[in-house]
Protein backbone atom coordinates (compact mmCIF):
# COMPACT_ATOMS: atom_id res chain seq x y z
CA UNK A 1 0.00 0.00 0.00
CA UNK A 2 1.25 3.48 -0.93
CA UNK A 3 1.62 6.65 1.09
CA UNK A 4 -0.58 9.16 -0.72
CA UNK A 5 -1.47 12.82 -0.23
CA UNK A 6 -4.61 14.65 -1.27
CA UNK A 7 -4.99 18.45 -1.23
CA UNK A 8 -8.39 20.01 -1.96
CA UNK A 9 -11.34 18.20 -0.44
CA UNK A 10 -14.28 19.88 -2.14
CA UNK A 11 -17.24 18.39 -4.01
CA UNK A 12 -14.90 16.47 -6.33
CA UNK A 13 -11.89 15.87 -4.09
CA UNK A 14 -13.76 14.34 -1.17
CA UNK A 15 -15.20 11.32 -3.03
CA UNK A 16 -11.98 10.89 -5.04
CA UNK A 17 -9.88 10.82 -1.86
CA UNK A 18 -12.43 8.44 -0.37
CA UNK A 19 -11.81 5.90 -3.14
CA UNK A 20 -8.04 5.98 -2.47
CA UNK A 21 -8.66 5.43 1.24
CA UNK A 22 -11.15 2.65 0.59
CA UNK A 23 -8.48 0.76 -1.37
CA UNK A 24 -6.36 0.67 1.78
CA UNK A 25 -3.76 3.35 1.05
CA UNK A 26 -2.41 5.67 3.73
CA UNK A 27 -3.81 9.13 2.94
CA UNK A 28 -2.41 12.44 4.20
CA UNK A 29 -4.79 15.31 3.51
CA UNK A 30 -5.06 19.09 3.60
CA UNK A 31 -7.83 21.44 2.53
CA UNK A 32 -8.71 25.13 2.89
CA UNK A 33 -11.60 24.53 5.27
CA UNK A 34 -12.28 21.44 7.41
CA UNK A 35 -11.45 17.85 6.45
CA UNK A 36 -14.82 16.07 6.05
CA UNK A 37 -15.74 13.82 8.97
CA UNK A 38 -16.36 10.88 6.61
CA UNK A 39 -12.73 10.95 5.48
CA UNK A 40 -11.38 11.25 9.04
CA UNK A 41 -13.55 8.32 10.09
CA UNK A 42 -12.10 6.31 7.17
CA UNK A 43 -8.56 6.99 8.42
CA UNK A 44 -7.43 10.12 6.52
CA UNK A 45 -4.60 11.85 8.38
CA UNK A 46 -4.93 15.66 8.42
CA UNK A 47 -1.80 17.76 7.87
CA UNK A 48 -1.18 21.41 8.73
CA UNK A 49 -0.25 22.43 5.18
CA UNK A 50 0.79 21.21 1.73
CA UNK A 51 4.46 20.95 2.73
CA UNK A 52 3.51 18.56 5.53
CA UNK A 53 1.47 16.44 3.11
CA UNK A 54 4.46 16.29 0.75
CA UNK A 55 6.80 15.24 3.56
CA UNK A 56 4.55 12.31 4.53
CA UNK A 57 3.35 11.10 1.13
CA UNK A 58 5.15 9.74 -1.94
CA UNK A 59 2.45 10.74 -4.41
CA UNK A 60 0.52 14.00 -3.82
CA UNK A 61 -2.79 14.64 -5.60
CA UNK A 62 -4.17 18.19 -5.89
CA UNK A 63 -7.79 19.03 -6.74
CA UNK A 64 -8.45 22.77 -6.38
CA UNK A 65 -10.56 25.30 -8.31
CA UNK A 66 -8.28 27.31 -10.60
CA UNK A 67 -4.76 28.07 -11.86
CA UNK A 68 -3.80 30.52 -9.04
CA UNK A 69 -5.01 27.96 -6.47
CA UNK A 70 -2.70 25.29 -7.89
CA UNK A 71 0.20 27.74 -7.96
CA UNK A 72 -0.45 28.66 -4.32
CA UNK A 73 -0.88 25.05 -3.15
CA UNK A 74 2.35 24.01 -4.86
CA UNK A 75 4.67 26.99 -4.53
CA UNK A 76 3.53 29.41 -1.78
CA UNK A 77 5.34 29.27 1.60
CA UNK A 78 4.19 26.08 3.32
CA UNK A 79 3.23 24.64 -0.07
CA UNK A 80 3.89 21.22 -1.54
CA UNK A 81 7.23 22.15 -3.14
CA UNK A 82 8.64 22.97 0.31
CA UNK A 83 8.02 19.42 1.54
CA UNK A 84 9.00 17.47 -1.56
CA UNK A 85 12.15 15.40 -1.80
CA UNK A 86 13.61 13.73 -4.91
CA UNK A 87 11.63 10.80 -6.33
CA UNK A 88 8.18 11.97 -5.21
CA UNK A 89 5.31 12.66 -7.63
CA UNK A 90 2.78 15.49 -7.91
CA UNK A 91 -0.49 14.75 -9.73
CA UNK A 92 -2.65 17.82 -10.39
CA UNK A 93 -6.23 16.76 -11.15
CA UNK A 94 -7.60 20.33 -11.15
CA UNK A 95 -8.77 21.84 -14.46
CA UNK A 96 -6.39 24.73 -15.11
CA UNK A 97 -4.38 26.61 -17.73
CA UNK A 98 -2.35 24.23 -19.96
CA UNK A 99 0.39 26.81 -20.51
CA UNK A 100 0.86 27.52 -16.78
CA UNK A 101 0.82 23.75 -16.22
CA UNK A 102 3.93 23.29 -18.36
CA UNK A 103 5.69 25.81 -16.12
CA UNK A 104 4.50 24.12 -12.90
CA UNK A 105 5.75 20.77 -14.24
CA UNK A 106 9.20 22.19 -15.00
CA UNK A 107 9.48 23.67 -11.49
CA UNK A 108 8.47 20.38 -9.83
CA UNK A 109 10.85 18.37 -12.03
CA UNK A 110 13.67 20.77 -11.07
CA UNK A 111 13.25 19.37 -7.53
CA UNK A 112 13.99 15.85 -8.81
CA UNK A 113 10.29 14.94 -8.72
CA UNK A 114 7.71 13.85 -11.34
CA UNK A 115 4.58 15.73 -12.42
CA UNK A 116 1.36 14.65 -14.09
CA UNK A 117 -1.50 16.90 -15.12
CA UNK A 118 -4.64 14.79 -14.93
CA UNK A 119 -7.85 16.82 -15.17
CA UNK A 120 -11.12 14.96 -15.11
CA UNK A 121 -14.54 15.06 -16.72
CA UNK A 122 -17.71 13.55 -15.32
CA UNK A 123 -18.56 15.87 -12.43
CA UNK A 124 -19.70 15.01 -8.94
CA UNK A 125 -21.64 11.99 -10.20
CA UNK A 126 -18.53 10.58 -11.90
CA UNK A 127 -16.37 11.34 -8.85
CA UNK A 128 -18.72 9.47 -6.53
CA UNK A 129 -19.14 6.54 -8.93
CA UNK A 130 -15.39 6.34 -9.66
CA UNK A 131 -16.26 6.66 -13.33
CA UNK A 132 -14.38 9.86 -14.18
CA UNK A 133 -12.74 10.41 -17.56
CA UNK A 134 -9.10 11.28 -16.78
CA UNK A 135 -6.96 13.08 -19.39
CA UNK A 136 -3.28 12.81 -18.50
CA UNK A 137 -0.16 14.70 -19.56
CA UNK A 138 3.32 13.54 -18.54
CA UNK A 139 5.91 10.81 -18.97
CA UNK A 140 4.81 7.26 -19.85
CA UNK A 141 6.65 5.69 -16.89
CA UNK A 142 5.10 8.12 -14.41
CA UNK A 143 1.66 7.47 -15.94
CA UNK A 144 2.22 3.71 -15.62
CA UNK A 145 3.15 4.12 -11.94
CA UNK A 146 0.05 6.21 -11.09
CA UNK A 147 -2.42 4.34 -13.35
CA UNK A 148 -3.59 1.85 -10.68
CA UNK A 149 -4.52 4.85 -8.50
CA UNK A 150 -6.32 6.61 -11.37
CA UNK A 151 -8.27 3.38 -11.87
CA UNK A 152 -9.65 3.75 -8.34
CA UNK A 153 -11.19 7.09 -9.37
CA UNK A 154 -12.03 6.77 -13.08
CA UNK A 155 -12.75 4.54 -16.01
CA UNK A 156 -11.70 6.20 -19.26
CA UNK A 157 -8.05 7.08 -18.60
CA UNK A 158 -5.79 8.28 -21.43
CA UNK A 159 -2.18 9.46 -21.55
CA UNK A 160 -2.67 12.22 -24.13
CA UNK A 161 0.95 13.39 -24.33
CA UNK A 162 3.55 15.35 -22.36
CA UNK A 163 2.95 17.78 -19.49
CA UNK A 164 0.16 20.25 -20.25
CA UNK A 165 -1.47 17.99 -22.84
CA UNK A 166 -3.89 16.60 -20.28
CA UNK A 167 -5.06 20.14 -19.50
CA UNK A 168 -5.16 20.97 -23.22
CA UNK A 169 -7.38 17.95 -23.80
CA UNK A 170 -9.70 19.05 -20.99
CA UNK A 171 -10.01 22.52 -22.52
CA UNK A 172 -10.78 20.91 -25.90
CA UNK A 173 -13.42 18.81 -24.16
CA UNK A 174 -15.05 21.87 -22.60
CA UNK A 175 -15.03 23.73 -25.94
CA UNK A 176 -16.84 20.85 -27.66
CA UNK A 177 -19.31 20.35 -24.81
CA UNK A 178 -20.25 24.05 -24.71
CA UNK A 179 -20.56 24.37 -28.49
CA UNK A 180 -22.55 21.15 -28.77
CA UNK A 181 -24.96 22.43 -26.09
CA UNK A 182 -25.35 25.64 -28.11
CA UNK A 183 -25.88 23.59 -31.30
CA UNK A 184 -28.70 21.63 -29.70
CA UNK A 185 -30.17 24.83 -28.23
CA UNK A 186 -30.28 26.66 -31.59
CA UNK A 187 -31.69 23.60 -33.39
CA UNK A 188 -34.41 22.82 -30.85
CA UNK A 189 -35.38 26.48 -30.50
CA UNK A 190 -35.76 26.73 -34.29
CA UNK A 191 -37.82 23.52 -34.34
CA UNK A 192 -40.06 24.61 -31.48
CA UNK A 193 -40.73 28.09 -32.87
CA UNK A 194 -41.45 26.58 -36.31
CA UNK A 195 -44.20 24.56 -34.61
CA UNK A 196 -42.60 21.11 -34.37
CA UNK A 197 -42.47 19.04 -31.16
CA UNK A 198 -38.86 19.42 -29.89
CA UNK A 199 -39.02 16.06 -28.11
CA UNK A 200 -39.89 14.28 -31.37
CA UNK A 201 -37.27 16.26 -33.30
CA UNK A 202 -34.63 15.29 -30.74
CA UNK A 203 -35.70 11.64 -31.02
CA UNK A 204 -35.55 11.68 -34.84
CA UNK A 205 -32.09 13.31 -34.80
CA UNK A 206 -30.59 10.77 -32.41
CA UNK A 207 -30.27 8.22 -35.23
CA UNK A 208 -28.21 10.33 -37.63
CA UNK A 209 -25.16 12.58 -37.91
CA UNK A 210 -26.56 15.01 -35.32
CA UNK A 211 -26.24 12.30 -32.66
CA UNK A 212 -24.15 13.22 -29.63
CA UNK A 213 -23.98 12.67 -25.89
CA UNK A 214 -25.07 16.30 -25.52
CA UNK A 215 -28.19 15.86 -27.72
CA UNK A 216 -28.99 12.82 -25.61
CA UNK A 217 -28.44 14.25 -22.13
CA UNK A 218 -28.59 18.05 -22.39
CA UNK A 219 -31.18 18.00 -25.18
CA UNK A 220 -33.49 16.09 -22.87
CA UNK A 221 -32.91 18.63 -20.08
CA UNK A 222 -33.86 21.48 -22.45
CA UNK A 223 -37.07 19.71 -23.47
CA UNK A 224 -37.97 18.67 -19.91
CA UNK A 225 -36.83 22.02 -18.44
CA UNK A 226 -34.68 20.37 -15.74
CA UNK A 227 -31.82 22.79 -15.17
CA UNK A 228 -30.66 21.84 -11.68
CA UNK A 229 -26.91 21.00 -11.86
CA UNK A 230 -25.19 18.78 -13.06
CA UNK A 231 -22.36 21.08 -14.06
CA UNK A 232 -22.90 24.74 -13.25
CA UNK A 233 -22.71 27.53 -15.83
CA UNK A 234 -20.24 29.45 -13.61
CA UNK A 235 -17.82 26.51 -13.75
CA UNK A 236 -18.11 26.16 -17.51
CA UNK A 237 -17.48 29.93 -17.80
CA UNK A 238 -14.15 29.36 -16.03
CA UNK A 239 -13.19 26.59 -18.45
CA UNK A 240 -14.16 28.62 -21.53
CA UNK A 241 -12.09 31.45 -20.13
CA UNK A 242 -9.10 29.08 -20.17
CA UNK A 243 -9.88 28.34 -23.83
CA UNK A 244 -10.13 32.01 -24.79
CA UNK A 245 -7.13 33.24 -22.82
CA UNK A 246 -5.16 30.31 -24.25
CA UNK A 247 -6.33 31.14 -27.78
CA UNK A 248 -5.17 34.72 -27.31
CA UNK A 249 -1.74 33.56 -26.15
CA UNK A 250 -1.53 31.07 -29.02
CA UNK A 251 -2.74 33.56 -31.65
CA UNK A 252 -5.92 31.65 -32.55
CA UNK A 253 -9.44 32.79 -33.39
CA UNK A 254 -12.20 30.66 -31.84
CA UNK A 255 -15.31 32.57 -32.92
CA UNK A 256 -18.05 30.23 -31.72
CA UNK A 257 -16.27 29.61 -28.41
CA UNK A 258 -16.12 33.39 -27.92
CA UNK A 259 -19.83 33.71 -28.72
CA UNK A 260 -20.75 30.97 -26.26
CA UNK A 261 -18.82 32.76 -23.52
CA UNK A 262 -20.97 35.85 -24.21
CA UNK A 263 -24.12 33.70 -24.04
CA UNK A 264 -22.98 32.15 -20.74
CA UNK A 265 -22.52 35.72 -19.48
CA UNK A 266 -26.08 36.52 -20.58
CA UNK A 267 -27.30 33.53 -18.56
CA UNK A 268 -25.30 34.68 -15.52
CA UNK A 269 -26.64 38.24 -15.90
CA UNK A 270 -30.14 36.77 -15.76
CA UNK A 271 -29.51 34.91 -12.50
CA UNK A 272 -28.63 31.51 -13.97
CA UNK A 273 -24.95 31.15 -13.04
CA UNK A 274 -25.69 28.26 -10.67
CA UNK A 275 -27.96 26.38 -13.11
CA UNK A 276 -26.80 23.41 -15.16
CA UNK A 277 -24.90 24.38 -18.33
CA UNK A 278 -27.76 22.97 -20.43
CA UNK A 279 -29.51 26.24 -19.43
CA UNK A 280 -27.22 27.88 -22.00
CA UNK A 281 -30.31 27.50 -24.21
CA UNK A 282 -31.98 30.23 -22.08
CA UNK A 283 -29.79 32.91 -23.69
CA UNK A 284 -31.13 32.31 -27.23
CA UNK A 285 -34.58 31.68 -25.78
CA UNK A 286 -34.50 35.13 -24.16
CA UNK A 287 -33.33 36.71 -27.42
CA UNK A 288 -36.14 35.02 -29.36
CA UNK A 289 -38.81 35.53 -26.68
CA UNK A 290 -39.70 31.83 -26.97
CA UNK A 291 -38.81 28.71 -24.97
CA UNK A 292 -38.01 25.30 -26.50
CA UNK A 293 -40.75 23.84 -24.30
CA UNK A 294 -43.02 25.37 -21.63
CA UNK A 295 -41.30 25.76 -18.26
CA UNK A 296 -42.58 23.26 -15.71
CA UNK B 1 -47.50 -3.55 -56.58
CA UNK B 2 -48.12 0.20 -56.65
CA UNK B 3 -48.00 2.77 -59.45
CA UNK B 4 -45.36 5.24 -58.36
CA UNK B 5 -43.90 8.43 -59.78
CA UNK B 6 -40.44 9.92 -59.23
CA UNK B 7 -39.41 13.42 -60.28
CA UNK B 8 -35.79 14.53 -59.95
CA UNK B 9 -33.22 11.89 -60.88
CA UNK B 10 -29.99 13.43 -59.66
CA UNK B 11 -27.26 12.01 -57.42
CA UNK B 12 -29.81 11.20 -54.70
CA UNK B 13 -32.98 10.56 -56.75
CA UNK B 14 -31.47 8.01 -59.11
CA UNK B 15 -30.51 5.37 -56.52
CA UNK B 16 -33.70 6.08 -54.49
CA UNK B 17 -35.88 5.53 -57.58
CA UNK B 18 -33.81 2.44 -58.35
CA UNK B 19 -34.76 0.88 -54.99
CA UNK B 20 -38.49 1.43 -55.71
CA UNK B 21 -38.11 -0.21 -59.13
CA UNK B 22 -36.09 -3.10 -57.75
CA UNK B 23 -38.95 -3.92 -55.38
CA UNK B 24 -41.17 -4.47 -58.43
CA UNK B 25 -43.26 -1.29 -58.45
CA UNK B 26 -44.28 0.44 -61.68
CA UNK B 27 -42.29 3.69 -61.82
CA UNK B 28 -43.16 6.74 -63.94
CA UNK B 29 -40.31 9.24 -64.01
CA UNK B 30 -39.41 12.74 -65.10
CA UNK B 31 -36.26 14.78 -64.65
CA UNK B 32 -34.77 18.05 -65.97
CA UNK B 33 -32.09 16.36 -68.05
CA UNK B 34 -32.06 12.74 -69.29
CA UNK B 35 -33.43 9.73 -67.44
CA UNK B 36 -30.40 7.58 -66.51
CA UNK B 37 -29.98 4.50 -68.72
CA UNK B 38 -29.77 2.23 -65.66
CA UNK B 39 -33.30 3.22 -64.63
CA UNK B 40 -34.70 2.79 -68.17
CA UNK B 41 -33.09 -0.64 -68.36
CA UNK B 42 -34.74 -1.53 -65.04
CA UNK B 43 -38.16 -0.59 -66.47
CA UNK B 44 -38.69 3.05 -65.48
CA UNK B 45 -41.25 4.70 -67.80
CA UNK B 46 -40.28 8.25 -68.82
CA UNK B 47 -43.00 10.93 -68.90
CA UNK B 48 -43.00 14.27 -70.72
CA UNK B 49 -43.62 16.33 -67.58
CA UNK B 50 -44.75 16.28 -63.94
CA UNK B 51 -48.43 16.41 -64.88
CA UNK B 52 -48.00 13.24 -66.93
CA UNK B 53 -46.26 11.50 -63.99
CA UNK B 54 -49.16 12.51 -61.71
CA UNK B 55 -51.74 11.16 -64.19
CA UNK B 56 -50.07 7.73 -64.31
CA UNK B 57 -48.97 7.28 -60.67
CA UNK B 58 -50.86 7.12 -57.38
CA UNK B 59 -47.94 8.26 -55.22
CA UNK B 60 -45.52 10.86 -56.65
CA UNK B 61 -42.08 11.37 -55.07
CA UNK B 62 -40.10 14.55 -55.72
CA UNK B 63 -36.35 14.95 -55.08
CA UNK B 64 -35.09 18.28 -56.42
CA UNK B 65 -32.50 20.83 -55.20
CA UNK B 66 -34.34 23.75 -53.57
CA UNK B 67 -37.63 25.41 -52.59
CA UNK B 68 -38.25 27.16 -55.97
CA UNK B 69 -37.59 23.85 -57.76
CA UNK B 70 -40.27 22.08 -55.70
CA UNK B 71 -42.71 24.94 -56.33
CA UNK B 72 -42.04 24.72 -60.08
CA UNK B 73 -42.27 20.92 -60.25
CA UNK B 74 -45.57 20.94 -58.35
CA UNK B 75 -47.36 24.10 -59.48
CA UNK B 76 -45.92 25.47 -62.77
CA UNK B 77 -47.85 24.75 -66.00
CA UNK B 78 -47.33 21.07 -66.82
CA UNK B 79 -46.51 20.44 -63.15
CA UNK B 80 -47.66 17.69 -60.83
CA UNK B 81 -50.76 19.58 -59.57
CA UNK B 82 -52.13 19.69 -63.13
CA UNK B 83 -52.16 15.87 -63.37
CA UNK B 84 -53.35 15.02 -59.86
CA UNK B 85 -56.80 13.65 -59.11
CA UNK B 86 -58.42 13.14 -55.69
CA UNK B 87 -56.91 10.40 -53.53
CA UNK B 88 -53.36 10.62 -54.86
CA UNK B 89 -50.32 11.42 -52.69
CA UNK B 90 -47.34 13.75 -53.14
CA UNK B 91 -44.18 12.97 -51.16
CA UNK B 92 -41.51 15.67 -51.31
CA UNK B 93 -38.15 14.25 -50.25
CA UNK B 94 -36.17 17.38 -51.18
CA UNK B 95 -34.65 19.49 -48.37
CA UNK B 96 -36.48 22.83 -48.55
CA UNK B 97 -38.06 25.66 -46.56
CA UNK B 98 -40.41 24.33 -43.82
CA UNK B 99 -42.64 27.39 -44.02
CA UNK B 100 -43.10 27.18 -47.82
CA UNK B 101 -43.72 23.44 -47.34
CA UNK B 102 -46.79 24.11 -45.20
CA UNK B 103 -48.17 26.23 -48.05
CA UNK B 104 -47.39 23.56 -50.69
CA UNK B 105 -49.15 20.94 -48.52
CA UNK B 106 -52.28 23.09 -48.20
CA UNK B 107 -52.42 23.63 -51.98
CA UNK B 108 -52.05 19.88 -52.70
CA UNK B 109 -54.67 18.99 -50.06
CA UNK B 110 -57.06 21.49 -51.66
CA UNK B 111 -57.02 19.14 -54.69
CA UNK B 112 -58.27 16.26 -52.52
CA UNK B 113 -54.79 14.74 -52.30
CA UNK B 114 -52.36 13.97 -49.47
CA UNK B 115 -48.92 15.49 -48.89
CA UNK B 116 -45.88 14.34 -46.96
CA UNK B 117 -42.64 16.24 -46.54
CA UNK B 118 -39.92 13.65 -46.10
CA UNK B 119 -36.40 15.09 -46.39
CA UNK B 120 -33.50 12.74 -45.89
CA UNK B 121 -30.07 12.67 -44.31
CA UNK B 122 -27.25 10.32 -45.23
CA UNK B 123 -26.13 11.61 -48.62
CA UNK B 124 -25.26 9.66 -51.75
CA UNK B 125 -23.83 6.79 -49.70
CA UNK B 126 -27.06 6.45 -47.74
CA UNK B 127 -29.17 6.74 -50.89
CA UNK B 128 -27.25 3.94 -52.59
CA UNK B 129 -27.25 1.72 -49.50
CA UNK B 130 -30.95 2.37 -48.80
CA UNK B 131 -29.90 3.50 -45.32
CA UNK B 132 -31.19 7.10 -45.38
CA UNK B 133 -32.59 8.79 -42.29
CA UNK B 134 -36.06 10.04 -43.31
CA UNK B 135 -37.79 12.81 -41.31
CA UNK B 136 -41.48 12.94 -42.16
CA UNK B 137 -44.20 15.58 -41.70
CA UNK B 138 -47.86 14.81 -42.42
CA UNK B 139 -50.86 12.77 -41.30
CA UNK B 140 -50.35 9.45 -39.49
CA UNK B 141 -52.52 7.48 -41.95
CA UNK B 142 -50.65 8.86 -44.96
CA UNK B 143 -47.33 8.06 -43.27
CA UNK B 144 -48.53 4.50 -42.59
CA UNK B 145 -49.50 4.07 -46.25
CA UNK B 146 -46.12 5.29 -47.58
CA UNK B 147 -43.95 3.70 -44.87
CA UNK B 148 -43.28 0.42 -46.77
CA UNK B 149 -41.94 2.53 -49.67
CA UNK B 150 -39.78 4.65 -47.33
CA UNK B 151 -38.39 1.38 -45.97
CA UNK B 152 -37.09 0.55 -49.45
CA UNK B 153 -34.96 3.74 -49.31
CA UNK B 154 -34.08 4.27 -45.66
CA UNK B 155 -33.64 2.81 -42.20
CA UNK B 156 -34.28 5.42 -39.52
CA UNK B 157 -37.76 6.71 -40.45
CA UNK B 158 -39.69 9.00 -38.07
CA UNK B 159 -43.03 10.76 -38.33
CA UNK B 160 -42.00 13.98 -36.59
CA UNK B 161 -45.36 15.79 -36.77
CA UNK B 162 -47.65 17.57 -39.23
CA UNK B 163 -46.72 19.02 -42.63
CA UNK B 164 -43.55 21.09 -42.51
CA UNK B 165 -42.25 19.34 -39.39
CA UNK B 166 -40.17 16.91 -41.46
CA UNK B 167 -38.43 19.86 -43.12
CA UNK B 168 -38.09 21.63 -39.77
CA UNK B 169 -36.40 18.52 -38.37
CA UNK B 170 -34.00 18.42 -41.32
CA UNK B 171 -33.06 22.06 -40.76
CA UNK B 172 -32.49 21.30 -37.06
CA UNK B 173 -30.29 18.38 -38.13
CA UNK B 174 -28.21 20.59 -40.40
CA UNK B 175 -27.82 23.24 -37.69
CA UNK B 176 -26.48 20.66 -35.23
CA UNK B 177 -24.20 19.00 -37.78
CA UNK B 178 -22.65 22.33 -38.85
CA UNK B 179 -22.19 23.58 -35.28
CA UNK B 180 -20.78 20.25 -34.10
CA UNK B 181 -18.25 20.34 -36.96
CA UNK B 182 -17.26 23.85 -35.87
CA UNK B 183 -17.02 22.68 -32.23
CA UNK B 184 -14.61 19.90 -33.18
CA UNK B 185 -12.65 22.29 -35.42
CA UNK B 186 -12.15 24.90 -32.66
CA UNK B 187 -11.25 22.24 -30.08
CA UNK B 188 -8.76 20.34 -32.24
CA UNK B 189 -7.18 23.56 -33.52
CA UNK B 190 -6.69 24.74 -29.93
CA UNK B 191 -5.20 21.36 -28.99
CA UNK B 192 -2.87 21.25 -31.97
CA UNK B 193 -1.58 24.80 -31.54
CA UNK B 194 -1.06 24.17 -27.81
CA UNK B 195 1.26 21.33 -28.81
CA UNK B 196 -0.91 18.26 -28.16
CA UNK B 197 -1.46 15.46 -30.69
CA UNK B 198 -4.96 16.10 -32.13
CA UNK B 199 -5.45 12.41 -32.96
CA UNK B 200 -4.82 11.45 -29.31
CA UNK B 201 -7.02 14.29 -28.04
CA UNK B 202 -9.86 13.14 -30.32
CA UNK B 203 -9.43 9.59 -29.05
CA UNK B 204 -9.47 10.67 -25.40
CA UNK B 205 -12.59 12.80 -25.95
CA UNK B 206 -14.57 10.01 -27.62
CA UNK B 207 -15.28 8.40 -24.24
CA UNK B 208 -16.88 11.41 -22.54
CA UNK B 209 -19.48 14.15 -22.93
CA UNK B 210 -17.75 15.52 -26.04
CA UNK B 211 -18.58 12.28 -27.90
CA UNK B 212 -20.55 12.70 -31.12
CA UNK B 213 -20.89 11.19 -34.56
CA UNK B 214 -19.20 14.36 -35.86
CA UNK B 215 -16.17 13.99 -33.55
CA UNK B 216 -15.94 10.40 -34.73
CA UNK B 217 -16.32 10.92 -38.51
CA UNK B 218 -15.52 14.57 -39.26
CA UNK B 219 -12.91 14.83 -36.50
CA UNK B 220 -11.02 12.00 -38.15
CA UNK B 221 -11.23 13.76 -41.54
CA UNK B 222 -9.74 16.92 -39.99
CA UNK B 223 -6.86 14.97 -38.45
CA UNK B 224 -6.23 12.87 -41.59
CA UNK B 225 -6.81 15.86 -43.94
CA UNK B 226 -9.26 13.93 -46.13
CA UNK B 227 -11.69 16.56 -47.42
CA UNK B 228 -13.09 14.94 -50.56
CA UNK B 229 -16.91 14.85 -50.22
CA UNK B 230 -18.97 13.36 -48.54
CA UNK B 231 -21.34 16.29 -48.24
CA UNK B 232 -20.21 19.44 -49.99
CA UNK B 233 -19.84 22.80 -48.26
CA UNK B 234 -21.99 24.46 -50.97
CA UNK B 235 -24.90 22.13 -50.09
CA UNK B 236 -24.57 22.76 -46.37
CA UNK B 237 -24.54 26.51 -47.13
CA UNK B 238 -27.96 26.08 -48.76
CA UNK B 239 -29.33 24.26 -45.71
CA UNK B 240 -27.94 26.84 -43.27
CA UNK B 241 -29.52 29.53 -45.42
CA UNK B 242 -32.89 27.81 -44.80
CA UNK B 243 -32.15 27.95 -41.06
CA UNK B 244 -31.24 31.63 -41.12
CA UNK B 245 -34.06 32.79 -43.41
CA UNK B 246 -36.45 30.73 -41.29
CA UNK B 247 -35.06 32.27 -38.12
CA UNK B 248 -35.60 35.74 -39.54
CA UNK B 249 -39.21 34.91 -40.41
CA UNK B 250 -39.76 33.35 -36.98
CA UNK B 251 -38.09 36.21 -35.10
CA UNK B 252 -35.27 34.10 -33.65
CA UNK B 253 -31.56 34.80 -33.07
CA UNK B 254 -29.27 31.88 -33.93
CA UNK B 255 -25.85 33.46 -33.33
CA UNK B 256 -23.58 30.43 -33.80
CA UNK B 257 -25.52 29.26 -36.87
CA UNK B 258 -25.02 32.74 -38.36
CA UNK B 259 -21.30 32.62 -37.57
CA UNK B 260 -20.93 29.20 -39.19
CA UNK B 261 -22.56 30.50 -42.36
CA UNK B 262 -19.91 33.24 -42.46
CA UNK B 263 -17.19 30.62 -41.99
CA UNK B 264 -18.65 28.45 -44.77
CA UNK B 265 -18.52 31.59 -46.94
CA UNK B 266 -14.85 32.01 -46.03
CA UNK B 267 -14.22 28.44 -47.14
CA UNK B 268 -16.06 29.05 -50.41
CA UNK B 269 -14.12 32.29 -50.97
CA UNK B 270 -10.92 30.25 -50.63
CA UNK B 271 -11.94 27.74 -53.29
CA UNK B 272 -13.36 25.07 -50.97
CA UNK B 273 -17.09 25.10 -51.87
CA UNK B 274 -16.91 21.61 -53.34
CA UNK B 275 -14.93 20.08 -50.45
CA UNK B 276 -16.54 18.02 -47.71
CA UNK B 277 -18.17 20.11 -44.95
CA UNK B 278 -15.53 18.84 -42.49
CA UNK B 279 -13.27 21.37 -44.29
CA UNK B 280 -15.18 24.01 -42.30
CA UNK B 281 -12.14 23.71 -39.99
CA UNK B 282 -10.09 25.44 -42.73
CA UNK B 283 -11.76 28.78 -41.95
CA UNK B 284 -10.44 28.93 -38.36
CA UNK B 285 -7.18 27.36 -39.51
CA UNK B 286 -6.71 30.20 -42.00
CA UNK B 287 -7.52 32.77 -39.31
CA UNK B 288 -5.00 31.21 -36.91
CA UNK B 289 -2.33 30.52 -39.57
CA UNK B 290 -2.08 26.93 -38.28
CA UNK B 291 -3.55 23.59 -39.38
CA UNK B 292 -4.89 20.91 -37.02
CA UNK B 293 -2.49 18.46 -38.68
CA UNK B 294 -0.06 18.80 -41.60
CA UNK B 295 -1.77 18.55 -44.99
CA UNK B 296 -0.97 15.29 -46.76
pLDDT in tens, B136-174: 999 999 999 999 999 999 999 999 999 999 999 999 999
Q: What pLDDT score does B61 carry?
A: 98
For residue A37, pLDDT over 90 is answered with yes
- CA-CA distance, B257 to B90, in Å (whole number)? 31
* Rounded Cα gap, residues B151 and A84, in angstroms: 67
Mean pLDDT over the full length of chain A: 97
Task: Write down the pLDDT at residue B235.
Answer: 93
Percentage of the residues of chain A whose pLDDT score is greater than 90: 96
Predicted pLDDT of residue A123:
86
Interchain CB distance below 8 Å, A211 and B207: no
- Tell me which residues of chain A, numbers 106 to 125, contact chain B at a CB-CB cutoff of 8 Å: 121-122
CA distance A67 to chain B (A): 17
pLDDT for B141: 98
Cα separation, A96 vs A120, in Å, equals 11
Q: What is the pLDDT of residue B296?
A: 75
Is the ipTM above a cut-off of 0.85? yes
Chain A to chain B Cβ contacts (< 8 Å) = 277
- The pLDDT of residue B230 is 85
Any residues with CB less than 8 A from the CB of A5 and at least 6 apart, and which? A27, A28, A29, A30, A47, A53, A54, A56, A57, A59, A60, A61
- Which residue in A105, A262, A236 sits closest to A176, CA to CA? A236
Contacts of A183 in chain B (CB under 8 A): 175-176, 178-180, 183, 256
Picking from A161, A201, A252, the nearest residue to B160 by CB comes out as: A201
Nearest to B257 among A135, A186, A217 (CB): A186
Nearest CA of chain B to the CA of A281: how many Å?
Answer: 11
Average pLDDT over residues A105-122: 97
How far is residue B293's CA from residue B130's CA, in Å, rounded to a whole number? 34
The active-site residue, picked from B88, B155, B170, B200, is: B170
pLDDT digits 0-9 by tens, A182-195: 999 999 999 999 99
Asked if A170 is an active-site residue, the reply is yes
Peptide linkage before A230 cis (omega within 30 of 0): yes
Q: pLDDT digits over B68-88, tens only?
A: 999 999 999 999 999 999 999
Smallest CA-to-CA distance from B59 within B7, B18, B107, B98 is with B7
Task: Tell me the pLDDT tens digit for each residue of A130-147.
Answer: 999 999 999 999 999 999
In the predicted model, is pLDDT for residue B123 greater than 90?
Answer: no
Split at pLDDT 50, 70, 90, the class of A54 is very high
Cα distance between residue A76 and residue A60, in whole Å: 16
* pLDDT of B108 above 90: yes
> In the prediction, which pLDDT does B244 show?
98
Asked whether the beta carbons of residue B203 and residue A158 sit closer than 8 angstroms, the reply is yes
Of A29, A110, A19, A21, the residue nearest A62 (C-alpha) = A29
Q: Which of B127, B169, B110 is nearest to B14 (CA)?
A: B127
What number is the average pLDDT over the span A222-236? Answer: 95
* pLDDT value at A296 more than 80: no
State the pLDDT at residue A201: 97
Amino acid sequence: MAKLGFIGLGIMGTPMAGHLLAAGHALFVHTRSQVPQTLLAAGAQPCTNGADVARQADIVFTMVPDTPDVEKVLFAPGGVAEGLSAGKTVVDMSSIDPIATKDFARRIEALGCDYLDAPVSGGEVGAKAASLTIMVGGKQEVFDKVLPLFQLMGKNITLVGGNGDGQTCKVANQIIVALNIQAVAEALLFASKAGADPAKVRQALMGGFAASRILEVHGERMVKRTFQPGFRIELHQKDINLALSGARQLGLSLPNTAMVQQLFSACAANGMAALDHSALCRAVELMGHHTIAPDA
